[in-house]
Amino acid sequence: MPLLEVRELKTYYFTLRGPVKAVDGVSFDVEKGETVGLAGESGCGKTTTALSIIKLIPPPGKIIGGKIIFEGKDLVTMKDSDIRRIRWKGIAMIFQGAMNALNPVFKVGDQIAEAILAHEKNVSEKEAWERAEKLLEMVGIDPSRAQDYPHEFSGGMRQRAMIAMALACNPKLLIADEPATALDVIVQAQVLEVMRNLKTRLNLSMILITHDLSIIAEMCDRVAIMYAGKIVEYGSARDIFKNPQHPYTKGLIGAFPSIRGPKKSLQSIPGSPPNLLNPPPGCRFHPRCPQAMPICRKEEPKVVKLGGGHIVSCHLVG
């Protein structure tokens, strides 16, 4: 049984102008010890998917369908009091832009200790502080720096402190939403290295959200490519990068340089993702698709299984 099973998840934002279909029938699994990448351009529903999994969707957002099975229990129908027990200890999240969310007036160590004290019983303040120091050490920060205030940390250190904080209660699943996006390339590589180490050391399961496919290629076992609220292609990282089938996946791969591969000219996909108040009919990618056919404007493509868990939703395939 996978650690997490997301099935036909639908999360809409009920705005005054109508429902924004941010997540519209999304399914994927996360196995124990596995890192699953959720990739796609900005506005495709990645963050909303993550917030749905920890049940922290801001209003006017609401899960209106589907299941989120974590360790055999459905989080969609679970009581809030039970969800609170799963957050931090079962599933922890590093929020998009989190490194700027540290409180400037408290020591970094105190903030991590506070997270431990808030979520675990029978822990003394001294124990919590010592655990905070250990956590900082685990992300490559000297434990003496627990005494520092956030402004004394560099951007990369603050981001690593947020990773340490997310791991404060030994979660089984870590969701990291664009954990390296605001950092320069060298610092980005350091943060990803820390995450890779943790993954093997703690046998952590991870959902890594990014618009940057070169990060996915470096970090992930499996990949879900998201476009306009739907997963358009899903499979092992190997299948997705060696044998991409969806024109959107191919476009994204063409839009990013590989870290190790030969330099090639980058082509970005013209246009931008649709407004999800009113997504295009048929295949939501058709207005931008270089290979769109008449059927793509009318009929939503079915899921085609290509073997080995590789699936794609595209009229060009199958």
State the residues that interact with ligand ADP by CB under 6 A: 13, 15, 20, 22, 40, 42-48, 58, 61, 276
What count of other Cβ atoms lies within 10 Å of the Cβ of residue 43?
17
Of 42 and 144, nearer to Mg ion (C-beta) is: 42
Which residue, 47 or 205, is less far from Mg ion as judged by CB?
A: 47
Q: How far is the CB of 58 from ligand ADP (least distance, A)?
A: 5
For residue 47, state whether it binds Mg ion (rule: CB under 5 A).
Answer: yes
Judged by beta carbon, residue 169 or residue 219, the one nearer Mg ion is 219
Q: Give the shortest CB-222-to-ligand ADP separation in angstroms.
A: 18
CB closer to Mg ion, 54 vs 314: 54
Residue with Cβ nearer Mg ion (47 or 190): 47
Q: Which does 276 bind (CB under 5 to 8 A by kind): Mg ion, ligand ADP, none?
A: ligand ADP
Min dist CB 228 to ligand ADP, Å, is 8
Which of Mg ion, ligand ADP, none has residue 278 at its interface (CB below 5 to 8 Å by kind)? none
Q: Which listed option, ligand ADP, Mg ion, none, makes contact with residue 44 (CB within 5 to 8 Å by class)?
A: ligand ADP
Task: Rank residues 46 and 158 by Cβ distance to Mg ion and give the closer one.
Answer: 46
- Find the part of the chain contacting Mg ion (CB under 5 A) among 33-41, 44-52, 67-75, 164-172: 44-52
Q: How far is the CB of 273 from ligand ADP (least distance, A)?
A: 7
What's the chain's Rg over C-alpha atoms? Answer: 20
Burial state string for 129-165 with b = 16 or more CB within 10 A and e = fewer than 16: bbbbbebbebbbbeeebbebebeebeebbbbbbbbbb
CA distance 222 to 310: 10
Q: Which does 48 bind (CB under 5 to 8 A by kind): ligand ADP, Mg ion, none?
A: ligand ADP
**Cis (ω within 30 of 0) for the bond into 19?**
no
* Smaller CB separation from ligand ADP, 42 or 147: 42
Which of 117, 252 has the CB closer to ligand ADP?
A: 252
Q: Which stretch binds Mg ion (CB under 5 A): 41-49, 110-118, 197-205, 253-261?
A: 41-49
Q: Counting contacts by CB under 5 A, is residue 52 touching Mg ion?
A: no
CB of 12 to ligand ADP, least distance (A): 9
CB of 252 to ligand ADP, least distance (A): 13
Q: Residue 39 binds which one of ligand ADP, Mg ion, none, with CB within 5 to 8 A depending on kind?
A: none
The residues that touch Mg ion, with contacts defined as CB under 5 A, are: 47
